[in-house]
Structure 1
């Protein structure tokens, strides 16, 4: 079993609230170095209703495997080194794979190394969570991947997980301001432009400030900005990529509630839906969870998102807001034991009265109720 010392090392390094991380196992502890392993296998399949009440439309197979390794190494009494690698092979296919996340084929969720300076903070570099994730981490797990949900994508400036991120974290402002945590990030993305074989850089900057109350309340504000547009070209018109996000969390006894709001401009690389490319995006998420303490846990999440698109290729002609997401998610889980978890997902769509409901048949699963079932094995 993992001991208290290993937990003290592990939890500050893990940003995700996944159950697999909590069940990490210590596999090595010698000469000041510890290595912890976690993971899960989660067979998951989704269906949605059709016009025939006795028939279902298959949305796709969302089975996933996740394996992670977290290590910390003692250097001296002032400094220790750490690393975190998480592998998530995408071996399943789904209906919306080419719609919601076609540009993200990376099987490595996390891969970074860093130095911990104790109360003076830590600094690491590699593939890591972007700054916006700090605000949306509390509601993230309450929405499945059966549709193109904005702000839930990787490799998109500093929204989700992304490459080449330098991150500095400081808890309690080095002991001078209890309850306040600071995160600073710089994203130095470089790629080759195939058209003229030259390197293009995308410098993004971000910051997050978190307040942790002793009464179980947390609030996180984050922001990011980049002078480069979604094609990774320097934006000479000063129409910068930017986002502002706010997340909150409150737990009491065996219940918890959380919320998230984000506004962005130019950040979703021309987020496309309903045959439009949206430049200005807003989203609000609210979620709640109740633990019955008999193995059952019930969760509910609500999400509503809006987008404004460019019309006729003219940046100054912005359309009226379109509703991009509007639904309730219900999740029921049952823990047979610490390794096996049964989960049932149900999405109730509030798109029925949306004007696109009858027009956009190719977004069938976005506007209809759906159900998903699976059983997770955690190791």
Structure 2
């Protein structure tokens, strides 16, 4: 194998895994105990009108550890934290993104509890590969089991107890987060009642994956007059497929939610129903360039006097360029397909195009 081919394989491996913890630095590994440190310094600027433009930089740091309990049992934990660096020193925003602990059995699967990803993200996360603007989608944090959230108990089993290679399942329970207990917050949209969810994913041995997920929770906000959504249950389901092989990444998802998705500039209103379609295509060249093209739309249904309206609808045209495993340049142009109307103006929904430029140092 010549030197150029070795370089190509190494670089492709980096690019396809860089969104995970591929760059984690091992800081301790002894007597069955392992601790890794990872993170990124992500500086970026959005060029757009009004609040769409400006500095959007952040720093993210995480630690991930494991300990061998016995031949078949392993304990593990992960913590991830992020701070925005685009404000003043005394006015910055900190986020605890992940904080969970669990135990894994070699054959029976794992169970963990804490601040983690909800089961809907197990599918929608396949679209979370855009250079910058994917967070305008549905899987927002602190919103039931759509993105990251707290009070999650999750059971996972890969390869279905060793009987079906590639079949991975997850069962999830979310405890109540309300103003009446310790995990509640003042923002009603970030609270939830007791709920459950599941995801099923099948990974083939040639890069193609299929999956679906479902969640159902008690809606603690159904008696609030300023919300459109007043159903007793908050519900969501998703299906998706992806292909990740031969330098190509393709993924698409379809998601429906009931009584759970916030919208508008302040996210203080909840849509009774949403329908979201997402698709992304990327190709990795052997010299580090990875162009990206995506289309995302989310439509709100039964929005009172506004009927049915798009909550977002845009094309993402962007690219990554990896100088090496620790340094990358990002470009993302969000082509907004929303038309300005009474609905977008009343709820502060942007209809402007935005250009994002950034540099990232991974460690």
Q: Report the CA distance between 1:359 and its aligned residue.
A: 6.8
Q: Give the Cα–Cα distance (whole angstroms) in 1 for the partners of residues 23 and 233 of structure 2.
A: 41
State whether structure 2 residue 304 is matched by structure 1 residue 328: no
Equivalence map 1:107-118=2 (5 Å):
107-118=95-106
Q: Report the CA distance between 1:30 and its aligned residue.
A: 0.6
Q: Deviations over 1:267-325 (max 9, x none)?
A: 12x5346996522111100001111111211111101110024427xxxxxx5310121
3-state SS of 1:138 partner: helix
Distance 1:171 1:154, change over 3 A: same
Distance 1:264 1:93, change over 3 A: farther
Distance 1:32 1:341, change over 3 A: same
CA contact (8 A) 1:163 1:189 kept: no
Extract unaligned runs of 5+ from structure 2: 1-15, 185-190, 225-229
More contact order relative to length (CA 8 Å, sep ≥ 6) = 2
Q: Give the Cα–Cα distance (whole angstroms) in 1 for the partners of residues 297 and 234 of structure 2.
A: 22
CA contact (8 A) 1:217 1:250 kept: yes
Distance 1:212 1:164, change over 3 A: same
Q: Give the Cα–Cα distance (whole angstroms) in 2 for the partners of residues 201 and 75 of structure 1.
A: 35
Size of the alignment, in residue pairs? 330
Q: Give the Cα–Cα distance (whole angstroms) in 2 for the partners of residues 226 and 57 of structure 1.
A: 33
CA contact (8 A) 1:328 1:347 kept: yes
Q: Report the CA distance between 1:340 and its aligned residue.
A: 1.2
Q: Report the CA distance between 1:91 and its aligned residue.
A: 3.7
Distance 1:344 1:163, change over 3 A: same
Q: Give the Cα–Cα distance (whole angstroms) in 2 for the partners of residues 285 and 297 of structure 1.
A: 19
3-state SS of 1:107 partner: strand
Match of 2:232 in 1: 239
Q: Report the CA distance between 1:168 and its aligned residue.
A: 0.3
CA contact (8 A) 2:260 2:271 kept: no
Distance 1:357 1:371, change over 3 A: farther
Match of 1:175 in 2: 162
State whether structure 2 residue 332 is matched by structure 1 residue 341: no
CA contact (8 A) 2:133 2:332 kept: no
Q: Give the Cα–Cα distance (whole angstroms) in 2 for the partners of residues 208 and 201 of structure 1.
A: 20
Equivalence map 1:138-153=2 (5 Å):
138-142=126-130, 144-145=132-133, 149-153=136-140
Q: Deviations over 1:195-220 (max 9, x none)?
A: xx9xx972110000000111110111
Extract unaligned runs of 5+ from structure 1: 1-15, 51-55, 95-104, 313-318
CA contact (8 A) 1:47 1:371 kept: yes
Match of 2:6 in 1: none
Distance 1:68 1:339, change over 3 A: same
3-state SS of 1:22 partner: coil
State whether structure 2 residue 190 is matched by structure 1 residue 205: no
Q: Report the CA distance between 1:355 and its aligned residue.
A: 4.9
User: Which range moved further: 301-310 or 286-295?
Assistant: 301-310
CA contact (8 A) 1:20 1:40 kept: no
Q: Deviations over 1:222-269 (max 9, x none)?
A: 000013333699xxx97311001112110231111001110000012x
3-state SS of 1:136 partner: helix
State whether structure 2 residue 30 is matched by structure 1 residue 30: yes
TM-score (norm. length: structure 1): 0.79
